[in-house]
Structure formats: C-alpha cells, structure tokens
Homo-oligomer: A and B are copies of this chain.
C-alpha cells in the first residue's frame, strides 16, 4: 500500500529535508522511524526539499508499505517514536499513482519577519529579525510583480541545474500584524532558494534600497546578482502542498 503523510516539523535542528551523509535530515529521521516500525528498508519521498533550518507546517510525503499496520495508524505509531520537533499530523492510504513530489500542483510558503527594534525572544526560531522599519506598502507593490507565469532565473541560487526556470505564481502578498511582517507566496513550483531570494528582495524594497522598477528589470534581465540577498532560513515555512484533491483515500 502507498501511505501518505502530512508532516509538521521545526527545522531548527536539521540539515534540511533531504537525506545526506554527515548531517541529520528530516527524511532520514522519518525513514528510520518507519523502518523501526515495519522492519523493512523504506524510502520516504517528500513533496520537495526544504533547506537546513526551514520549517514545515504542511509537508507531504509518501512511502510504500508491506506491513500489516493500518495506514491511518502510522501517525500515532510514528509520533510515539519521533523526536518532539517532528510530528505526523495525519497518515492514510493514498492512490498507487500518487507521488508526493510529481503529483503536487501548488505549494504555499510563508516568510516571517520580526520588524521590532529589539527582535523576539519568544518565537525567535521562526522569524528573521529586521530591526530597521519596513515599509510594507512598498513591499506589497513589489510582491505584486512576482505574480503570473514568468522566468524566475534571477531568483535562483547560482549553479542550480534545472531544465526550466519558468514558474507560475498564483498568489503573492505581504501584510503586517503589529511588529510582524509576513510574505506568503503560492506557485506551481519553486526554484532553489527562490522564496528566500524573493523575501530578501522584498526586504530591500521595504527598506527603500530597491523599488518596483528595479525589481521588474531584474525579473526581465534574469541576472541573479541583481536580485536581493537570500533571506535566512529560519523565517521560512512550507505551509501546504495542494494536489487538487484530497490525497487520502
């Protein structure tokens, strides 16, 4: 049976989603957890990688299981073995054709900024601290430029191998809640570091170090070095992955 997982994690302590040799990843922890339960080697496939330090509110993953554990019981069984910073929100059977990565239609990320002078003590793990006052109106104007089907080559970490750098952005908005500023973006896919470069560019716009016309030129010119800096990982969270239907059977 193919089993789907809805996963929440605090990425602070991990080297990212993807399994790697010399550092602990979310994927490795999940695979070892399933292996401990079923006694068989397993590959847990996520909807996409998240970088070291990035959080997951609604990451989706799947694996193939031959045990007799009821699909919906994996959540409970895994949570009793997982560390406190990884939780299975739900598990269940998915269709045999379902693929956490290739079936994904849209993903939504949120970038969280603490815009007070002193920063946060409580919740500091989940915000990037920008002490200088951000003009959220300027950020909103710039965020609107991300909308639509465009070539985001300028918003990709250099040297990432990818066949196409065109992505379609369905929603891109910025709002302030007191001293917190949020950027939420939904697209059919994201290039490597794309959301963090988008966020870095918006922060520069909010500090009036760049403006909508420069950002439009960067998008048109496709040169990475012209875009904003890559905002740090702790402000970023994968909110949810949309497959166009309820993945659980």
Q: Chain A: residues with CB nearer than 8 A to chain B?
A: 8-10, 55, 57, 75-76, 79, 84-89, 116-124, 126, 237
Inter-subunit contact B122/A8 (CB<8 Å) = yes
Give the 3 A-B residue pairs with the shortest CB-CB distance, closest first. A87-B121, A8-B121, A87-B118
User: DSSP class of A's interface residues: helix, strand, loop or mixed?
Assistant: mixed
Chain B residues, Cβ within 8 Å of A120 = 8, 87
Chain B residues, Cβ within 8 Å of A118 = 8, 75-76, 79, 87-89
The oligomer's copy count stands at: 2
Chain B residues, Cβ within 8 Å of A117 = 75-76
Give the residue among A57, A87, A89 with the most B Cβ atoms within 10 A: A87
Within the complex, what minimum Cβ distance (angstroms) separates A1 from chain B? 21
Chain B residues, Cβ within 8 Å of A124 = 10, 84-85
Apart from A55-B122, A85-B124, list 15 A-B contacts with CB within 8 A: A8-B118, A8-B121, A8-B122, A9-B121, A10-B122, A57-B122, A76-B117, A84-B119, A84-B121, A84-B124, A87-B118, A87-B119, A87-B120, A123-B123, A123-B126
